[in-house]
């Protein structure tokens, strides 16, 4: 997969190998979320291209990109508030349903089989993110942290090849952060590529194999956690000073 | 985007208008006072509704009904089946009319309640259904009722698709205005397309349906025909809601962006719910045509669209039983209030406002049927 020179940002080229955990970091306003939105089709990039397994997916509508195996969570949470946890995850299974409109009325064997199988998978995912006890709770009644977990479960329900997580542990305590890190590792173990945006350096340095650093819409560094940690430009971007210094 | 709040507002101010009507004829200067008073009542009501005890009582009653859903449905159905045997002809007529509105409300509920798309000219589809049947069976006598019925539904559905394709990409209020325009366009067409629709004179002599030797001539017989269609509609709608389609609709209502990110084509889900709604409205229109035996554009005014919308909002957005209850109340209550003669609409308006104050999400709340059932399972665990 490669995302070449998106002009919404500029000259940002990121290559994601299958099964990797990558992080995109950078100060607020660096263009991280814009990058995600360009990849998932929420924004149409004015230039550049996004390839998924060799197929150009630039400019496709978000649902088409999702159907090709790109799932995401949102930085500002977007749960289906009036639905239960299980139902939220079931909506994520939607693209895998095979039963037709007519069968939904008649309720033949195929419909029931479809419903049963996907409910079971949804239940597994709900357990997987640790919301088992809350599966019949309305999403709007969940705590902030629980809603974040719900977003991950919902995205995983799509059975994606690539999972984009936008600040999955923002606002979480260290215990919760540890849980999410463990979760992301398990997701990777299932062969899913994970690309995350995160400010929490413990998480970023702890699980990413490679890190891309954005500042002012440009890629200023990339490499292993150790390389990035010692990169002078990265330090400058985060602490101020250097050519990209902003008024503090 | 939010059909709920807009609909609630409409009910509220329609109620105020109805209350004002008798007075305004004498003095328009009262209007600000009335509005101020209404605003005060609404604020006060909101405070009362936030009361802890009221809330817990509500929760308990909700759970009670959620746990006994099937027996309750059977009981209600039984009551309505026995009803004509011991009720007056007048009541049977009123209930038949209520059933037709209930079909309309159930259909509109899919679009407004579940998918969250506010439709203001819904009666247009009803009109298309009615006129299709009128034209096919009476005007040109091309076929019988049983052929015309599905064709009426399909005609309305086709119009729904044709209207939906260019317009369903619009958001919230803009779409509401377009559908409002659609309802008016249909009515104006009916008024002026004389060779086909008979213009303002409408179409006369539409025959009641018959099946073999049996003709639904009597009010009671037609009551059962309408009831059967209502039951079928509710059955289909309830099952659709409690399936992947219903879940996708609600997801689209809750958050289009998140739904899109999960591979759901928001536009197609809108179009699907819109055309299904239109189909059932067409069926209801067809039944209306044979019930009346006569149709004219006067039966399909904007007021009717608002009335159906009020039924959905009053009963509870997205709630199957709510739409039925809303239809029942908005047809039956004005009839009951006939004794009050001049003040009928005043009391009616006050009743509606009271409901909106104490149950802002509708009488039965805005939960879908699928959610209710799982809640019930949760309680019994």
pLDDT at residue B130 tops 70: yes
Residue at a domain's end among A99, A126, A159: A159
Residue showing tokens 């977007």: A78
Residues A51 and A103 in one domain: no
Of B240, B248, B371, the CB nearest to A94: B248
Structural domain includes residue A208:
yes
B174 or B7: which carries more pLDDT confidence? B174
Residues A137 and A195 in one domain: no
Q: What dotted CATH number matches B3-380? A: 1.10.3470
Of B236, B255, B375, the CB nearest to A136: B375
Cβ–Cβ contact B378 with A under 8 A: yes
Mean pLDDT of B146-160: 96
Kindly report the average pLDDT of chain B as a whole number: 82
Residues A85 and A63 in one domain: no
Angstroms from A101 CA to nearest CA on chain B = 8
* pTM of the predicted model as reported, rounded to 2 decimal places: 0.83
Q: What is the CATH number of the domain that holds A10?
A: 3.40.50.300
Angstroms from B217 CA to nearest CA on chain A = 31
SS (H, E, C) A22-47: EEEECCCCCCHHHHHHHHHCCCCCCC
For an interface test with B, the pick among A62, A135, A140 (most B C-beta atoms closer than 10 Å) comes out as A62
Cβ–Cβ contact B377 with A under 8 A: yes
Structural domain includes residue A30:
yes
For an interface test with B, the pick among A57, A63, A134, A140 (most B C-beta atoms closer than 10 Å) comes out as A63
Structural domain includes residue A19:
yes
Q: What does the block give as tokens for B9? A: 């507002």
* Domain that residue A14 falls in: 1-69+161-248
Contact A62 B236 (CB under 8 A): no
Of B239, B240, B260, the CB nearest to A62: B260
Which H or E run includes B197?
helix B194-197
B138, B174, B170, B134: which is closest to B152 by C-alpha? B134
Contact A80 B250 (CB under 8 A): yes
Residues A11 and A54 in one domain: yes
Roughly what angle, to the nearest 10 degrees, separates helices B52-67 and B31-49?
70
Say if residues A94 and B262 touch (Cβ distance below 8 Å). Answer: yes
Residues from chain A contacting residue B235 (CB–CB below 8 Å): 105
B117, B120, B128: which is closest to B158 by C-alpha? B128
Residues A65 and A88 in one domain: no
pLDDT at B318: 84
pLDDT tens for B63-114 read 776 667 778 888 888 888 888 888 888 889 999 999 999 999 999 999 998 9
Structural domain includes residue A75:
no
pLDDT tens for A7-18 read 556 777 888 888
A230, A165, A214: which is closest to B261 by C-alpha? A165
pLDDT at residue B119 tops 70: yes
Mean pLDDT of A136-142: 90
Structural domain includes residue A144:
yes
Residues A40 and A119 in one domain: no
Residues from chain B contacting residue A111 (CB–CB below 8 Å): 243
**What single-letter DSSP state applies at residue A190?**
T
Domain boundaries, chain B: 3-380
pLDDT at residue A248 tops 60: no
Residues from chain B contacting residue A63 (CB–CB below 8 Å): 260-266
Contact A158 B263 (CB under 8 A): yes
Q: Which of residues 109-138 of A touch B (CB under 8 A)?
A: 111, 114-115, 136, 138
pLDDT at B375: 42
Structural domain includes residue A125:
yes
Distances (CA, A) of B302 to A101, B227, B309, B363: 32, 26, 11, 24
B298, B362, B345, B357: which is closest to B17 by C-alpha? B345
Residue at a domain's end among A107, A135, A159: A159
Number of domains in chain A: 2
Which H or E run includes A215?
strand A210-215
Cβ–Cβ contact B260 with A under 8 A: yes
Which H or E run includes B315?
helix B302-315
Residues A192 and A243 in one domain: yes
Structural domain includes residue A187:
yes
Say if residues A95 and A159 touch (Cβ distance below 8 Å). Answer: no
Residue at a domain's end among A138, A159, A180: A159
């Amino acid at each position: 997969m490669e995302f070449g020179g998106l002009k919404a940002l500029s000259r940002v080229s990121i290559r994601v190998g299958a099964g990797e955990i990558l992080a995109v970091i950078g100060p607020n306003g660096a263009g991280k979320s814009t990058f995600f939105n360009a990849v998932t089709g929420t924004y149409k990039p004015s230039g550049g291209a996004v390839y998924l397994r060799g197929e150009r997916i630039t400019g496709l509508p978000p649902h088409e990109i999702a159907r090709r195996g790109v799932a995401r969570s949102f930085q500002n949470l977007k749960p289906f508030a009036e639905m239960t946890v299980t139902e939220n995850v079931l909506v994520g299974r939607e693209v895998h349903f095979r039963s037709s409109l007519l069968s939904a009325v008649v309720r033949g064997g195929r419909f029931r089989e479809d419903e049963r199988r996907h409910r079971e998978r949804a239940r597994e995912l709900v357990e997987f993110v640790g919301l088992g006890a809350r599966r019949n709770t309305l999403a709007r009644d969940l705590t902030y942290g629980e809603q974040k977990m719900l977003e991950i479960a919902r995205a995983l329900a799509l059975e994606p090849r690539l999972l984009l997580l936008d600040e999955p542990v923002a606002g979480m305590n260290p215990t919760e952060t540890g849980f999410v890190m463990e979760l992301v590792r398990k997701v990777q173990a299932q062969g899913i590529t994970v690309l995350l945006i995160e400010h929490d350096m413990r998480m970023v340095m702890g699980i990413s194999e490679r890190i891309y650093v954005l500042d002012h819409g440009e890629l200023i560094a990339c490499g292993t956690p150790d390389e990035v940690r010692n990169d002078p430009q990265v330090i400058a971007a985060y602490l101020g000073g250097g050519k990209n210094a902003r008024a503090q | 985007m939010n059909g709920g709040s807009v609909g609630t507002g409409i009910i509220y101010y329609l109620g105020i208008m109805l209350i004002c009507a008798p007075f305004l004829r004498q003095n328009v200067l009262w209007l600000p006072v009335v509005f101020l008073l209404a605003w005060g009542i609404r604020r006060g009501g909101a405070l009362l509704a936030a009361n802890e005890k009221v809330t817990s009582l509500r929760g308990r009653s909700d759970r009670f009904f959620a746990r006994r859903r099937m027996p309750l449905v059977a009981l209600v159905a039984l009551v309505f089946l026995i009803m004509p045997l011991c009720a007056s002809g007048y009541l049977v007529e009123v209930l038949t009319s209520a059933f037709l509105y209930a079909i309309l409300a159930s259909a509109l509920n899919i679009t407004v309640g579940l998918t969250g798309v506010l439709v203001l000219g819904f009666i247009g589809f009803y009109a298309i259904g009615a006129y299709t049947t009128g034209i096919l069976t009476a005007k040109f006598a091309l076929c019988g009722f049983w052929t015309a019925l599905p064709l009426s539904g399909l005609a309305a559905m086709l119009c729904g698709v044709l209207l939906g394709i260019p317009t369903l990409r619009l958001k919230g209020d803009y779409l509401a205005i377009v559908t409002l325009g659609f309802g008016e366009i249909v009515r104006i067409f009916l008024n002026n397309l004389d060779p086909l629709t008979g213009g303002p004179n409408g179409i006369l002599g539409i025959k009641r349906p018959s099946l073999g030797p049996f003709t639904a001539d009597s009010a009671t017989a037609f009551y059962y025909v309408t009831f059967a269609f209502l039951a079928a509609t509710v059955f289909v709608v309830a099952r659709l809601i409690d399936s992947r389609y219903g879940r996708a609709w609600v997801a689209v209502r809750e958050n289009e962006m998140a739904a899109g990110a999960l591979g759901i084509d928001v536009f197609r889900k809108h179009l699907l719910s819109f055309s299904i709604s239109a189909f059932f409205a067409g069926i209801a229109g067809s039944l209306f045509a044979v019930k009346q035996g006569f149709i004219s554009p006067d039966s399909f005014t904007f007021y009717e669209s608002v009335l159906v919308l009020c039924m959905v909002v009053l009963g509870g957005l997205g709630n199957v039983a709510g739409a039925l209850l809303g239809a029942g109340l908005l047809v039956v209550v004005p009839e009951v209030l006939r004794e009050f003669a001049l003040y009928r609409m005043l009391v009616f308006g006050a009743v509606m406002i009271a409901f909106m104050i104490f149950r802002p999400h509708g009488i039965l709340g805005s939960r879908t049927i699928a959610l209710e059932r799982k809640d019930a399972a949760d309680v019994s665990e």
